[in-house]
């Protein structure tokens, strides 16, 4: 059985005080979350604060939102996988659509970052998804297949033994426009089927999260779909109560 997972992607949000209050609020409500794995992905600079607050607990792992492919050196402004690991990260988000769009990360670089995560002992949360134009042109499956193929070509199906996927239709991210549970399930089924053609067991064990305007009010229906194993949550992960409602919906 795949353990459900809910990961909070804070994006570039939060002061120290706000973040501390957010973590406290989530910790206080964890008693009501019995099954889902709850993961927090703060901005780099807030990782030490989150790590300090969660030290000694084993129920809330944390991770980065990005990493550089290099281990160390003259790469001004970048943060490496080993640095994330040093601060206790377990996970790292790779290939988020905002990285792909605003920072021009292409499929090849995303595949490299996927490998860099593994090399550092981190579990990549690989994001894939189509834009509105691509969906309207009937290219959804072709786009997610292309994004997956780049990683498969570089790392093989074995690369997915220790990974999490997040299907995030770009048109649903931060827009309030959620994919319907049926729309999301259709793509999730396609993704799992594509990977199952390479290795049924790896595909069966792989957690595929849905992301894009998930809220307390729509999470249950989305997570109720056969191939949706939880969510990657942006805006709604910044409010403890709302985020906890989503975590409970994944049980």
Q: For ligand PGA, which residue of 232, 240, 244, 250 counts as binding (CB under 6 A)?
A: 232
Q: Report d(CA 136, CA 154) in Å as an integer.
A: 29
Q: Applying CB under 6 A, which part among 78-86, 153-161, 181-189, 228-236 lies near ligand PGA?
A: 228-236
Among 48, 156, 174, 224, binds ligand PGA (CB under 6 A): 174
The answer to whether residue 235 forms part of the interface with ligand PGA (CB under 6 A) is yes
Helix (H, G, I), strand (E, B) or coil at 186: helix
By beta-carbon proximity to ligand PGA, the closer residue of 81 and 169 is: 169
- Which two tokens mark 131? 């834009």
CB 67 within 8 A of CB 116: yes
Separation between Cα atoms, residue 81 and residue 79, nearest integer Å: 7
Report, in Å, the least distance between residue 3 CB and ligand PGA.
20
- Give the binding range for ligand PGA (CB under 6 A) out of 12-20, 63-71, 166-174, 217-225: 166-174
What residue has token string 């299907």?
167
Active site residues: 96, 168
Asked whether 245 and 18 are in contact (CB, 8 A), the reply is: no
Selected binder of ligand PGA within 233, 240, 249, 250 (CB under 6 A): 233
């Amino acid at each position: 059985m795949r353990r459900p997972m809910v990961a909070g992607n804070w994006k570039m949000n939060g002061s120290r005080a706000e973040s501390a209050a957010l973590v406290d609020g989530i910790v206080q409500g964890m008693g009501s979350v019995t099954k889902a794995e709850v993961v927090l992905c703060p901005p780099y600079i807030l990782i030490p604060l989150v790590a300090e607050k969660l030290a000694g607990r084993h129920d809330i792992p944390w991770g980065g939102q990005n990493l550089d492919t290099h281990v160390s050196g003259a790469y001004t402004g970048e943060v490496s996988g080993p640095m994330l690991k040093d601060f206790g990260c377990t996970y790292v988000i790779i290939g988020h659509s905002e990285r792909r769009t605003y920072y021009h990360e292409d499929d090849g670089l995303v595949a490299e970052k996927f490998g860099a995560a593994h090399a550092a002992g981190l579990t990549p949360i690989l994001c894939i998804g189509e834009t509105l134009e691509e969906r309207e042109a009937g290219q959804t499956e072709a786009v997610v297949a292309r994004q997956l193929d780049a990683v498969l070509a570089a790392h093989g199906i074995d690369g997915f033994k220790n990974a999490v996927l997040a299907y995030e239709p770009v048109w649903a991210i931060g827009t309030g426009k959620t994919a319907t549970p049926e729309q999301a399930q259709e793509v999730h089924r396609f993704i799992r089927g594509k990977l199952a053609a390479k290795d049924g067991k790896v595909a069966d064990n792989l957690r595929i999260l849905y992301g894009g305007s998930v809220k307390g009010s729509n999470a249950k229906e989305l997570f109720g779909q056969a191939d949706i194993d939880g969510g990657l949550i942006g805006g709604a992960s910044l409010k403890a109560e709302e985020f906890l409602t989503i975590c409970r919906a994944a049980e």
